[in-house]
């Protein structure tokens, strides 16, 4: 598959962060498609093609997951994804403001691929997006949903 068409799905309730992430990707010349969902409930609906996302849910190669979200937070959503045989192979990178050790350990325990804290400066965010693009898009081999 064409690596450039790989879709990245970002679950974050913060519209500012969504905007900044998009800007940072553009600034960092990461050209992949970036989709957004606003909480854990939407995330799972998207992945399962339910509700408003039916037919409008390109399969993501990577999920950027915020931990603190309304309705269903990142921890619950992650647990659900990792317990779903259809979804559990999607790499989930936690991108959060929380620096607490407890959150990090729990994130890895639940099966997160990486644990990242949101950089304070925009430049930092650009670097992070570049690195993510380089690693997850260029180097990492990711199974597609029809792979068994």
Partner 1 sequence: MPHRNKPKFFRGWAIIIIVLVGFLAINATQSYRALSELVENENDANLTKSVLRTIKDLYSSVQEAELGLRGFFLTGAESYLGPYYFALSTIDENLIEMRNYDFQIPEQIDNTKRLELVILERLQEAGSHILQKQADPDSYRISSEKMRQSYDSMAELGEVIRTMEELEYDLLERQSERAHRSRQNLLYTIVIANSVGLLLVILVAYLIRKALKTQLLEAEHLEMLVHQRTEELEHYSNELQRSNRELQDFAFVASHDLQEPLRKIRAFGDRLKSVYAGKLGDGEDYIDRMQSAASRMSRLIEDLLEFSRVSTRAKPFGPVDLNQVMNVVLDNLEIKIQERNAQVTATKLPIIDADESQMHQLFQNLIGNAIKFTQPDIQPQISIECQVYETVKLGELENTVYEIKVKDNGIGFDEKYIEKIFTPFQRLHGRDKYEGTGIGLAICRRIVERHQGTIEVDSIPGEGSTFTLYLNSRTKDQLVGTEISPFTEGTPNG
Contact between 132 and partner 1 by CB under 8 A: the answer reads no
Does 1 sit near partner 1 (CB under 8 A)?
A: no
Q: Is 127 in the site for partner 1 (CB under 8 A)?
A: no
**Which long-range CB contacts under 8 A does 91-94 form with residues at least 24 apart?**
91/61, 91/62, 91/63, 91/136, 91/140, 91/142, 92/63, 92/65, 93/62, 93/63, 93/64, 93/65, 93/132, 93/136, 94/65, 94/66, 94/67
Binding to partner 1 in span 98-117, by CB under 8 A: 98
C-beta of 60 vs 107, nearer to partner 1 = 107
Stretch that binds partner 1, among 19-27, 42-50, 52-60, 108-116 (CB under 8 A): 19-27
Q: Which of 3, 7, 22, 23 binds partner 1 (CB under 8 A)?
A: 23
DSSP tag of 134 = I
Work out how close the CB of 75 gets to partner 1 at its nearest, in angstroms, rounded to a whole number: 16
Applying CB under 8 A, does 125 fall inside the site for partner 1?
yes
Residues 6+ apart with CB under 8 A from 86: 145
């Amino acid at each position: 598959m064409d690596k450039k068409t790989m879709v990245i799905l970002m679950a974050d309730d913060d519209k500012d962060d969504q905007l900044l992430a998009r800007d940072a990707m553009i600034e960092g010349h990461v050209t992949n498609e970036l989709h957004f969902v606003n909480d854990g409930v939407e995330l799972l609906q998207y992945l399962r093609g339910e509700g408003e996302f039916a037919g409008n849910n390109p399969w993501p190669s990577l999920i950027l997951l915020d931990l603190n979200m309304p309705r269903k937070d990142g921890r619950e959503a992650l647990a659900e994804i990792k317990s779903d045989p259809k979804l559990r192979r999607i790499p989930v990178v936690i991108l959060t403001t929380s620096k607490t050790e407890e959150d990090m350990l729990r994130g890895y325990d639940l099966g997160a691929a990486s644990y990242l804290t949101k950089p304070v400066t925009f430049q930092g965010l650009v670097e992070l997006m570049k690195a993510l693009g380089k690693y997850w898009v260029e180097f990492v081999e990711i199974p597609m949903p029809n792979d068994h």
